[in-house]
Structure 1
Amino acid sequence: MRAEPQAAGYRPDPAILDLPDWLGDPVEPAAFPRTELRFRNRRWDRAVGLAAMDDGQWVRHFGRFEPLPDNVPQPLALRYHGHQFRVYNPEIGDGRGFLFGQLRDGAGRLLDLGTKGSGTTPYSRTADGRLTLKGAVREVLATEMLEALGAYTSKTFSVIETGEDLWRGDEPSPTRSAVLVRLSHSHIRIGTFQRLLVLEERDHMAALVDYCLRHYPGPPPLGDAPAQEEPAVMLLHQVVERCADLAASWMVAGFVHGVLNTDNIVITGESFDYGPWRFAPLWEPGFTAAYFDQQGLYAFGRQAEALHWNCAQLAVALRLLADAAPLRAALERFAGLYEAALLRRWCWRLGVAPRGTEGDTQLLAASVTAMRAEGIGPDAFFHRHRGGGQASGDLADALTLYQPTGSAGEWPAAPEAMLIDEVEAIWSAIAERDDWSPFARKIAAVRAFGDALGDPPVPAGHGAI
Structure 2
Amino acid sequence: MPVSERYRPDPRFAGLGGEFADPVAPADFPKTILRFRNDRAAATVGLEGLTDAEWIAHFARFQPLPGNQSQPLAMRYHGHQFRSYNPELGDGRGFLFSQQREAQTDRLLDLATKGSGQTPWSRHGDGRLTLKGGMREILAAGLLEALGVPTSRAFSLVETGEALTRGDEPSPTRSAVLTRLSHSHIRFGTFQRLAYFDRADLITQLVDHVVETYFPHLADAPDRPTAMFAEVVSRTARLVARWMAAGFVHGVLNTDNMVVTGESFDYGPWRFLPRNDPNFTAAYFDHSGLYSFGRQPEAGFWNLQQLAACLVLVSPDQSGLIAALNGFSDAYRAALSEAMIARLAVTSQGGEADIELVNAAFKALAEGTKLDGGEALRWEPFFFDWFGGEASEARALEGPRGKLYQDPVFAAFRARLAGFAPDRPERLENPVFGQCEPEELLIDEVEALWTPISEADDWAPLNAKLARIESARIAYNLYG
So what's the TM-score if we normalise by structure 2?
0.91
2:341 pairs, out of 347, 351, 354, with 347
Question: Could you say which residue in structure 2 is the equivalent of 1:462?
Answer: none
Letter in 2 for 1:271: S
1:317-356, aligned counterparts within 5 Å?
317-322=310-315, 323-356=317-350
Gaps of 5+ in 1: 1-6, 221-226, 458-465
Measured after TM superposition, the shift of residue 410 of structure 1 is 3.4
1:203 pairs, out of 190, 201, 204, with 201
Distance in 1 of aligned mates of 2:113 and 2:216: 24
* CA displacement, residues 235-291 of structure 1 (integer Å, 9 cap, x when unaligned): 101100100000000001000000000001011010010000000101101100001
Measured after TM superposition, the shift of residue 367 of structure 1 is 1.4
Question: Could you say which residue in structure 1 is the equivalent of 2:379?
Answer: 378
Q: Indicate the SS of the match to 1:411.
A: helix
Question: Could you say which residue in structure 2 is the equivalent of 1:224?
Answer: none
Counting matched residue pairs gives: 446
Measured after TM superposition, the shift of residue 8 of structure 1 is 6.1
Q: Indicate the SS of the match to 1:39.
A: strand
Q: Flag as ranges the 4+ runs of structure 1 deviating above 3 A.
A: 407-412
1:100 pairs, out of 97, 121, 135, with 97
Distance in 2 of aligned mates of 1:54 and 1:77: 27
Where relative contact order (Cα < 8 A, 6+ residues apart) is larger, the structure is: 1
Question: Could you say which residue in structure 2 is the equivalent of 1:182?
Answer: 180
Distance in 1 of aligned mates of 2:216 and 2:266: 21
Measured after TM superposition, the shift of residue 330 of structure 1 is 0.6
Letter in 2 for 1:246: L
* CA displacement, residues 340-399 of structure 1 (integer Å, 9 cap, x when unaligned): 111111011112111123122221222122223333122011112222324541111111
| More helix by percentage | 2
Letter in 2 for 1:33: P
Q: Indicate the SS of the match to 2:282.
A: coil
2:125 pairs, out of 124, 127, 149, with 127
Measured after TM superposition, the shift of residue 62 of structure 1 is 0.4
Distance in 1 of aligned mates of 2:174 and 2:217: 41
1:304 pairs, out of 297, 314, 327, with 297
Distance in 1 of aligned mates of 2:416 and 2:307: 40
Matching of residue 453 in structure 1 with residue 476 in structure 2: yes
302 and 407 in structure 1: CA distance in 2 versus 1, 3 angstrom threshold = farther
1:43-442, aligned counterparts within 5 Å?
43-106=40-103, 107-217=105-215, 228-322=221-315, 323-375=317-369, 376-386=377-387, 387-388=389-390, 389=393, 390=397, 392-405=410-423, 406-408=425-427, 409-412=430-433, 413=435, 414-442=437-465
- What's the C-alpha RMSD, in Å, of the aligned pairs? 1.6
When Rg is computed on C-alpha atoms for both structures, the one with the higher figure is: 2
Letter in 2 for 1:404: P
261 and 8 in structure 1: CA distance in 2 versus 1, 3 angstrom threshold = farther
Equivalent residues of 1:8, 1:48 under 8 A apart = no
Equivalent residues of 1:193, 1:205 under 8 A apart = yes
Gaps of 5+ in 2: 370-376, 398-404
So what's the TM-score if we normalise by structure 1?
0.93
Matching of residue 29 in structure 1 with residue 52 in structure 2: no
* CA displacement, residues 89-135 of structure 1 (integer Å, 9 cap, x when unaligned): 10110000000100001121111110000000011011100000000
Equivalent residues of 1:407, 1:453 under 8 A apart = no
Letter in 1 for 2:451: S
Letter in 2 for 1:22: E
Equivalent residues of 2:147, 2:478 under 8 A apart = no
